[in-house]
Amino acid sequence: MKIDGRHYRTIFPAPDGEGICVIDQTRLPFAFETKTLRSEAEAAVAIRTMIVRGAPLIGATAAYGLALAMREDPSDRNLDGARTRLAATRPTAINLAWALDRVAGMLQPLSPGEREAASFAEAARIADEDVASCRAIGKHGAALIAAIARRKSGPVNVLTHCNAGWLATVDWGTALAPIYVAHDAGVAVHVFVDETRPRNQGAALTAFELNAHGVPHTVIADNAGGHLMQHGEVDLCIVGSDRTTSTGDVCNKIGTYLKALAARDCGVPFYAALPFSTIDWTLTDGVAGIPIEERDAREVTHLTGRTDDGAFATVAVVSPGSPVANPAFDVTPARLVTGIITERGVAEATPEGLLGLYPERRAAT
Ligand SMILES: CSC[C@H]1O[C@H](OP(=O)(O)O)[C@H](O)[C@@H]1O
């Protein structure tokens, strides 16, 4: 997407050919800075510390991380080691394992001398495919927004949670892609942006994106969403996903499940937007089967922001000594999901709905 008129992807080869550039998302929205990852280790740190985050972007970064590892040492031993080390950076987004399996599987039969070039080429294909998939998600999701626009006066009010925009993917985004496509097509759309404690990806990243693209929006406290739905202020919810099961259970940022409950109670359609690389076909029960990342307590006890005089500052916001729990994701059962917006169209959140879009998976299930 464009920042100050210049087009960016979230990950791209460094101009000097010596590494991979990413946007440092821990510095947004107050500073737009890129970092160059020059080693497998730097790619792993970028994922673990959320310099890069968002399921598809995590996958693309891991793919390039494996390529950087092959540049360092293309041996079988290092291929296996790098795959293991990168897979251990974060447990929930399936795109990480999906990308590593795809690149490592392609590299296995190659000679060590072929692996560097082949892995960078495959990582680039993964990035390009993600852009195409997210653009298609935007098209399919925008049709849902346009259908609502035809039935009402004023803007279509969409609530989203966390950041599932272009910053969470290589470009376009998943949950935000339909909003960009509808907005650019002249459909009046307004977004309620959940701040999304504790890391505030909504307040910091989604708001940054929507400001940059000129999309009307309102940042709200996470706990305000149900109230707005009760008062008819929300026409539909669209969220992203880090892992969706073959039965349509949707794992996403903590708090998503609560929004889905409020949406069901208030009769608000609730959609998840995700590409094929986010579907875990091996799982049928998301609550039981999806590993939920427990992140550092400091994400809850402290906040980092900008002071009124422009300095970055980190402050404590929890009574010292109080124990903290910080599960980073939750699972919304398929029964609460109106539909799943993918690059191939919109499916019911059911096994048949998903297999209808991905018939090639029938043989595997
Ligand atoms: C398009 S995936 C976006 C998804 O990823 C976020 O998690 P995190 O920021 O921790 O990587 C969040 O769950 C978003 O919905």
pLDDT at 365: 58
CATH class of 2-129: mainly alpha
Question: How many other C-beta atoms are found inside a 10 Å radius of the C-beta of residue 85?
Answer: 17
Please tell me the distance from the alpha carbon of residue 113 to that of residue 364, in angstroms, as a whole number. Answer: 34
* Ligand 1 atom closest to the CA of 273, numbered from 1: 1
Tell me the H-state helices in the chain: 40-48, 55-72, 76-87, 94-107, 112-151, 177-184, 201, 207-213, 225-230, 256-266, 286-289, 298-301, 351-357
Q: What is the pTM of this model?
A: 0.97
Distance 112 CA to ligand 1 centre (A): 34
* Ligand 1 atom closest to the CA of 173, numbered from 1: 1
Instruction: Go through the chain and tell me how many residues it has.
Output: 365
Contact 171, 249 (CB under 8 A): no
Whether residue 5 is predicted with pLDDT greater than 90 in this model: the reply is: no
Q: Tally the C-alpha atoms within 13 A of residue 340's C-alpha that lie toward its C-beta.
A: 34
Dihedrals phi, psi of 318, to nearest 5 degrees: -125, 145
Q: Is the CB of 253 under 6 A from ligand 1?
A: yes
Distance 289 CA to ligand 1 centre (A): 18
Question: How does the average pLDDT of the chain come out, rounded?
Answer: 97
Q: Is the CB of 169 under 6 A from ligand 1?
A: yes
Distance 329 CA to ligand 1 centre (A): 9
User: Per CATH, which fold does 136-294+325-361 belong to?
Assistant: Rossmann fold (3.40.50)
pLDDT at 3: 85
Q: Is the CB of 202 under 6 A from ligand 1?
A: no
What is the average per-residue pLDDT within 81-91?
98
Question: How many other C-beta atoms are found inside a 10 Å radius of the C-beta of residue 281?
Answer: 17
Fold match flag (2-129 vs 136-294+325-361): no
Distance 207 CA to ligand 1 centre (A): 15
Contact 250, 337 (CB under 8 A): yes
Q: What is the dihedral of CA 44, 47, 50, 53, to 10 degrees?
A: 170
Kindly list the domain boundaries of the chain, sorted by start residue.
2-129, 136-294+325-361, 295-324
Distance 323 CA to ligand 1 centre (A): 25
Residues linked to residue 273 through DSSP beta bridges, in sequence order:
341
Ligand 1 site-directed mutation target among 10, 206, 252, 277, most atoms within 8 Å of CB:
252
pLDDT at 1: 85
DSSP 168-190: GSSSS-SSSHHHHHHHHTT--EE
pLDDT at 47: 98
Distance 58 CA to ligand 1 centre (A): 9
Tell me which residue has its CA closest to atom 7 in ligand 1.
54
Average the pLDDT over each of 9-18, 92-101, 165-174, 325-334 and give the range with the smallest value: 9-18
Q: Tally the C-alpha atoms within 13 A of residue 104's C-alpha that lie toward its C-beta.
A: 24
Q: Which residues are annotated as catalytic?
A: 242
- Tokens 């950087």 -> residue: 68
pLDDT at 363: 78
Contact 30, 143 (CB under 8 A): no
pLDDT at 258: 98
What is the average per-residue pLDDT within 213-227?
98
Ligand 1 site-directed mutation target among 50, 51, 53, most atoms within 8 Å of CB:
53
* Ligand 1 atom closest to the CA of 293, numbered from 1: 10
Residues linked to residue 217 through DSSP beta bridges, in sequence order:
191
pLDDT band per the 50, 70, 90 thresholds, residue 202: very high
For the chain, give the percent of residues with pLDDT over 90. 96
Q: Can you say whether the dihedral through the CA atoms of 248, 253, 255, 260 is positive or negative?
A: negative
Q: Name residue 71's amino acid.
A: R
What is the average per-residue pLDDT within 152-161?
98
Of 37, 40, 306, 273, which is closest to residue 166 (Cα–Cα)? 273
Tell me which residue has its CA closest to atom 4 in ligand 1.
54
Please tell me the distance from the alpha carbon of residue 275 to that of residue 354, in angstroms, as a whole number. Answer: 12
What is the average per-residue pLDDT within 6-23?
94
CB-based burial of residue 352 (10 Å sphere; 0-12 exposed, 13-18 middle, 19+ buried)?
exposed
Ligand 1 site-directed mutation target among 24, 134, 137, 162, most atoms within 8 Å of CB:
162
310 contacts: CB under 8 Å, gap ≥ 6: none
Q: Is the CB of 158 under 6 A from ligand 1?
A: no
* Ligand 1 atom closest to the CA of 201, numbered from 1: 9
pLDDT tens column, 233-264:
999 999 999 999 999 999 999 999 999 999 99
> Residues comprising the binding site for substrate?
53-55, 90, 201, 252-253
Question: How many other C-beta atoms are found inside a 10 Å radius of the C-beta of residue 56?
Answer: 34
pLDDT tens column, 327-358:
999 999 999 999 999 999 999 999 999 999 99
